[in-house]
Amino acid sequence: GQNIDQPTEMTATEGAIVQINCTYQTSGFNGLFWYQQHAGEAPTFLSYNVLDGLEEKGRFSSFLSRSKGYSYLLLKELQMKDSASYLCAVREVWNNNAGNMLTFGGGTRLMVKP
């Protein structure tokens, strides 16, 4: 099993930068995903990290430190449309689990204000 913690809510201003943190505890780490979920809609994939370091994709970047059990999602040049929930999900390998499941955190609800 694993624990995944992320802040429940964050508020930021349009045009600013915001960092959403995620900490996890797992015995067989095999990757971390970030998903974006607008209210009433399905989650959509943002990023995947399996090695330490920063992955950059346009305005979004994701960082991973496996030794610290820590990741963050960085959103630059915030836009109003970035108001959404951001879900951290960890993939864990255990025993003969061929499914290699994802466990999701509770999500961080980000509100972008003008």
Partner 1 sequence: GAGVSQSPSNKVTEKGKDVELRCDPISGHTALYWYRQSLGQGLEFLIYFQGNSAPDKSGLPSDRFSAERTGGSVSTLTIQRTQQEDSAVYLCASSLGSPYRYPSREQYFGPGTRLTVT
Q: What are the DSSP calls for 42-81, one per residue?
A: --EEEEEE-SSEEEEETTEEEEEETTTTEEEEEE-S--GG
For partner 1, which residue of 2, 23, 30, 61 counts as binding (CB under 8 A)?
Answer: 30
Q: Which residue has the tokens 């999602």?
A: 73
Shortest Å, Cβ 23 to partner 1: 14
User: If binding is defined by CB under 8 A, does position 3 make contact with partner 1?
Assistant: no
For partner 1, which residue of 16, 50, 54, 111 counts as binding (CB under 8 A)?
Answer: 50
For partner 1, which residue of 12, 20, 43, 78 counts as binding (CB under 8 A)?
Answer: 43
Closest to 72 measured CA to CA, from 112, 5, 19, 17: 19
Sheet containing strand 60-65, strands side by side: 3-5, 18-25, 70-75, 60-65, 53-57
Give me 105's structure tokens: 């955190």
**Cβ-based nearer residue to partner 1, 74 or 93:** 93
For partner 1, which residue of 13, 44, 65, 79 counts as binding (CB under 8 A)?
Answer: 44
Binding interface with partner 1 (CB under 8 A): 30-31, 33, 41-45, 48, 50, 87, 89, 91, 93, 97-107, 109
